[in-house]
Amino acid sequence: MDNASSCLVEISHARRDLAIDMIYADARNFTGRAVYRRPGCFLHPDAAERLEEAIVHAARLGFKLKIFDAFRPSEAQWRLWQHTPDPDFLADPRRGSPHSRGVAVDLTLVDPSENELDMGTPFDAFTPRSHHGAPDVSATAHRNRLLLLGVMTTAGWDFYRNEWWHYQLFDARRYPLLSDSAAGTELMA
């Protein structure tokens, strides 16, 4: 990991059977503004390998993964934190996020037509209903969350209890925090 830019790989649906909708590249996110200058999905090679396994597991069940966010430059984490400094749903950028290390993904399951499965809340709904095991979501949403949990944990991912959509490598803190310039992703304006 001498060169930070060489430690991230771009994930694209052209090379993989998955859907990508980088929601922070436009105004459809909780800030109401684009956080990234351009859409781009990057992960550390270790996380990319785990993602490949998750894609296979999802396909065996007749589903695809849809990624909303992956590597998040430290600058982007600061923007999100400045908008909504809620430690229940956002990592304090002084501590660092697994996203800013390239070892976390925010995602859901979609059917073969790329319709999102009902998860009980939208992505980035910062409410207790987004927690794994939330008692006030439908049985269908519970089942779908458990399907996603099974796919991801079988592929070697850890989950964050407050967000049904967030998965990260178990040893996330061993990876360095990366800024956009250090990562060479050119995601930030």
What amino acid positions are annotated as catalytic residues?
163
Count each helix (H run) and each strand (E run) in the chain, helices first.
4, 7
| Structural contact between residues 8 and 102, judged by C-beta atoms closer than 8 angstroms | yes
Interatomic CA distance for residues 35 and 22, integer angstroms: 10
β partners of residue 110: 64, 116
Task: Return the SS3 of 110.
Answer: strand
In whole angstroms, give the CA distance from residue 167 to residue 179. Answer: 20
Task: Report which secondary-structure segment, H or E, holds 68.
Answer: strand 64-69
